[in-house]
Structure 1
Amino acid sequence: MVRHWTLSRRVTALCAVVVLLLGALATGATATAETSRSHVTELLDRIGPLRTDSERLLTALVDQETGVRGFALSGTERLLAPYPAGIAEQRRLIAEMRGLTRDRTVLTQLDAVDAQAEAWRAEVAEPAISAARAGDSTAAQSILSEPARARFDQIRASATALQDRIIAVRAAAADRIQAGQKRVMTLLLLAAIVVLVAGLALAVLLRQLVTRPVVTLAGEVRRVARGEYDREIKGAGPPELARLARDINAMRQQIVADLGTVRRAHVQVEQANQLLEQQAAELTRSNRDLEQFAYVASHDLQEPLRKVASFCQLLQRRYAGQLDERADQYIAFAVDGAQRMQRLINDLLAFSRIGRITSGFTEVDLDRVVSEAAAQLNWRSEQVDASVTWSGLPTVRGEEPLLSALFTNLISNSLKFRHPDRSPHVRIEAERVGDEWQISCADNGIGIEPEYADKIFVIFQRLHPKNEYPGTGIGLAIVKKIIEYHGGRVWLDAEAEEGTVIRFALPATADEPVSPAATGQPELIPAAAEAARTEETAP
């Protein structure tokens, strides 16, 4: 039954046995130490003072005998002083000794010494003192003769026997203390032996039940790791290691199954890569075709379109008013259609070239870019009495021509969609938020309804008729593509209280300096503003 015990149960059982044994030994050692402590206390607090008092008792008895003899010989009262002092000391010491011991023999001998002393004083000392005080020194000395001396020697012998008994009691207490110490040392040695044996048993137990099975299991795992994936892993030892072996074997089976899945997926990935390579080649061919189309659109298609527009304009100028009103209207429609087609082609080409024809990213000062963009549109600002201000614009990484087109389109849109009852005002600001710059272009124009927030960034999407607000409807689509090409994002601030607020975010570079705040309306740069002027003044 023990063979099926878990490792934790075996270790717990071993620890429980060790704890019980150590507890029993500790209890015995504690009891023995407590007994020894009581013996030591008795030796120090009772037997020691008792022995000292016995020696003092003998001295007090001798003082009495000496005082009586001196007084009997000389009759001098001064020489009798040790006698009453000895009596008082004797009585004090006997009372104290009776309180210090519970030994029957000591108490009996103490009573004997006290009785003998009382009898000696009554039969020898007091008569001799009375005779000496009466002036009969001969009688006093005869009382203290040899029989009296022998009687006092008996008292001395009894006091000496009392001291010997006290010494014997002291030796017995010392023997008990020594025996207790030996028992404590024996118990401590047994406890050390128990701990040593338990440690050896635990080491053997761990070697047999943990180390050896783990080494065997590790060998099996290493063989599987070398590629023997079909090898069954079997475990031995306690139930914990057996469960571990089963779990590892289940993991091996799962790895084998996953490996088959991976191999199949690898085949599928290779097939997908081949398909991607084919699609990439097809995409390359499509890009070449697109570039060829762009070339054709920019040269071959625009050439006949320019001819159509030119001749329609010639017809309009030469025959205006010579034909009927309907003919003039048709010619005007043809001129307008040709010009709008030309603008659509140019805008489409500009949209397609974003990110495809690149000059590489550089450090671009947006303060300078906005200044130039505002200068390009200065002629339009003067026409509508508009103001364009900016402040706190940073330096970012990007393509300066594209960023210039970005701000030109934003400012142009704000001027185009102005409110009829107030002068346009455009405000461009920037704020550092985390690892990006959030830039806003706000105006006080007619505004955009929140439900059109996504539609305004779609190419060729218009919210107003072309005869009300001119243009191709591609401006904000170009803005969105330029911002996304620079790793940013753009959105309409639907919570703007007045006009339109377009916000966009561009990545910020580490330790990016912020340009000093600047506000103003730059001077007109006529050559750069020609494109915007053409769109505004086209019929």
Structure 2
Amino acid sequence: MVKWTLGRRITVICALVGLLLTVIGVAAVATAETSRSQVKVLMDEVGPLRTDCGQLLTVLADQENGVRGYALTRSDASLAPYRNGVTEEQRLIREMRGLSHDAVVLARLSELEARSAAWRAQVAEPTIAAVRDGRAGDVPSIVADPNSTRSSQARESAQALLDRVTAVRDASVTQVRGTLGLLVILLVLAVILIVVAGLTMALLLRRLVTVPVVSLAGEVRRVARGEYEREIESVGPTEIARLARDINAMRQQIVADLGTVRRAHLQLEKANQLLEQQAEELTRSNRDLEQFAYVASHDLQEPLRKVASFCQLLQRRYAGQLDERADQYIAFAVDGAQRMQRLINDLLAFSRIGRITSGFTDVDLDRVVSEAAAQLSWRSEQAGGTITWSDLPTVRGEEPLLSALFTNLMSNSLKFRHPDRPPRIHIQAERVGDEWHISCADNGIGIEPEYADKIFIIFQRLHPKNEYPGTGIGLAIAKKIIEYHGGRIWLDTEAREGTVIRIALPVIAGEDTPAETTAHETTAHEPTADPTTTTDQTAAEHPELAPVAADAGRTEETAS
């Protein structure tokens, strides 16, 4: 036998209860309609009939009193009750015939009408005629005639009619009471059925839902306390049993995942231990790097300066006194010593970015670019070039680092200029969301798109050093400066002419988009500031960039 589901059981119970309630409801509606019809007959027919019967008795008495009064007083005014009584009697009889559908009532009404007419024809009218004819002596005999018993017969008929109407009323009232009693019984049965159905549903839900769910909850709590290997039993109706199976499957999956997590935790602990070892090694490496930076900045600089100085002395003092090959060797030695010194200085500057800091401040890039352009003005004049900038914002950062950044970018643009046209450099910025996008565009020889990532790698060069001098660290320093400021730098590979380097820097919190734009231009014909002033200031404020800043003022500047 297939086990019924909880939903099926509840559906069957609800259907049975609904069917019984429907039957009771139909019976109650029919009973109520019958009661309404009976009440309507009682109010609209029987009640008015009974009232009209009482008025008929009164009208018959008025007629008889009117005739007697006329006989005694012989005054026409005394006949008014009689005349009015006849008219009213006829009206009441017509009205009662329209109201009643009972055959006995209609028969009694006809009998009353006949007897009343007989009384008027045999007693009332002769009496009135005798009084009018002056037969006053005959009036007492006419009034006392045996035929006057017809008035009492008419009253008896009226009383019989009233009794019949009363009997009809009593029967209607009894029917109404019986119908109302049946209606009350039906309502009581409906209430009992609803109560029984509610109790049955409550017991069913307790037995099939509450008890199994409480048991299942107890099993789940035991598993939650750590008894993961405990099997959860499937009890109760199909839905609860299916839920128990699903929970048991979830428990099994949790057990499997827990084993995986434990294994992963062990692996994570091993990885953390390895990471701690690597962190210790990195710490030692950083200490060694700092020691190397110290040695490079002190111990290596002194021998290099001596070698460069003495080689330059040899070159100046003995130039032309030795053979041509000796002069060439001395020139090689001087150039090698100078290049080694520049490489050491650039490497030191690269390693110190972000480690030695003076703190972030609000930096006006318009002023920074203006000072950088002033440093490079003498080179721009020699090449007949132009440096312009506009829409430059204020950002958070270290001014010496940002100054070195724009100096390197503009220096590269001047170095890698096109041989057939004077250099043109333009720097501008626009706000994109929460970032400032700054571009440095020139009309130089450009960079192929396939080298877009290579140019920011330290000591990577795209040209021989005899064609374009430099150490190949300039854009690597620029990338590190931008990343230190939380920004991005990249090559615009869609530029149609020259090179476009784009920079993204965060907008200062709470800053609105600037409403005014100011354009600036520096050409070979404008007076410019002393290039050594800004260079010395940058070196004083940020010692680690002194080699880069100072090198920017020479012909063999730092290049990418």
TM-score range, shorter chain: 0.7 to 0.9
Matched, 1:526 2:535: no
Distance 1:200 1:360 in 2: 82
Give the corresponding residue for 2:441.
443
Matched, 1:151 2:150: yes
CA shift for structure 1 position 163? 1.6
The sequence identity of aligned pairs, in percent, is 63
Q: Secondary structure at the match of 1:286?
A: helix
Q: How many residues end up aligned between the 2 structures?
A: 533
Q: Secondary structure at the match of 1:533?
A: coil
AA matched with 2:429:
E
Within 5 Å, give how 1:381-400 maps onto structure 2. Answer: 384=384, 386-391=386-391, 393-396=393-396, 398-400=397-399
Residues 391 and 428 in structure 1, CA contact (< 8 A), matched pair in contact too: yes
Give the corresponding residue for 1:472.
471
AA matched with 2:34:
T
CA shift for structure 1 position 159? 1.0
Matched, 1:169 2:168: yes
Q: Secondary structure at the match of 1:349?
A: helix
AA matched with 1:427:
I
Give the corresponding residue for 1:44.
43
Residues 483 and 506 in structure 1, CA contact (< 8 A), matched pair in contact too: yes
Residues 413 and 423 in structure 2, CA contact (< 8 A), matched pair in contact too: no
CA shift for structure 1 position 152? 0.7
Distance 1:138 1:407 in 2: 156
Within 5 Å, give how 1:352-363 maps onto structure 2. Answer: 352-355=351-354, 357-359=355-357, 361-363=359-361
CA shift for structure 1 position 155? 0.7
Give the corresponding residue for 2:209.
210
Within 5 Å, give how 1:237-256 maps onto structure 2. Answer: 237-256=236-255
Give the corresponding residue for 1:365.
363
Question: What value does the CA root-mean-square deviation take over the aligned residues?
Answer: 3.3
Unaligned runs of 5+ residues in structure 2 are 523-527, 536-549
Given the two structures, how large is their TM-score scaled by the length of structure 2? Answer: 0.84
CA shift for structure 1 position 233? 1.7
* Residues 8-60 of structure 1, C-alpha deviations (whole Å, 9 max, x = no match): 22222222222222222222222211211112222222222222222222233
AA matched with 1:409:
N
Residues 234 and 245 in structure 1, CA contact (< 8 A), matched pair in contact too: yes
Give the corresponding residue for 1:124.
123
Residues 391 and 518 in structure 2, CA contact (< 8 A), matched pair in contact too: yes
Would the alpha carbon gap of residues 61 and 299 (structure 1) be closer, same or farther in structure 2, given more than 3 Å must change?
A: same
Matched, 1:90 2:89: yes
Higher mean C-alpha deviation, range 250-259 or range 292-301: 292-301
AA matched with 1:145:
A
CA shift for structure 1 position 416? 4.0
CA shift for structure 1 position 467? 5.1
CA shift for structure 1 position 285? 3.3
Residues 73 and 137 in structure 1, CA contact (< 8 A), matched pair in contact too: no
Distance 2:466 2:121 in 1: 157
AA matched with 2:90:
R
Within 5 Å, give how 1:160-239 maps onto structure 2. Answer: 160-239=159-238
Distance 1:325 1:115 in 2: 174
* Residues 254-282 of structure 1, C-alpha deviations (whole Å, 9 max, x = no match): 22222222222222222222322333333
Would the alpha carbon gap of residues 37 and 393 (structure 1) be closer, same or farther in structure 2, given more than 3 Å must change?
A: same
* Residues 113-143 of structure 1, C-alpha deviations (whole Å, 9 max, x = no match): 1121222223233333333333334445533
Distance 2:373 2:519 in 1: 11
Distance 1:114 1:81 in 2: 20
Give the corresponding residue for 1:506.
505
Would the alpha carbon gap of residues 53 and 363 (structure 1) be closer, same or farther in structure 2, given more than 3 Å must change?
A: farther
Q: Secondary structure at the match of 1:443?
A: strand
Would the alpha carbon gap of residues 312 and 160 (structure 1) be closer, same or farther in structure 2, given more than 3 Å must change?
A: same
Distance 1:482 1:405 in 2: 9
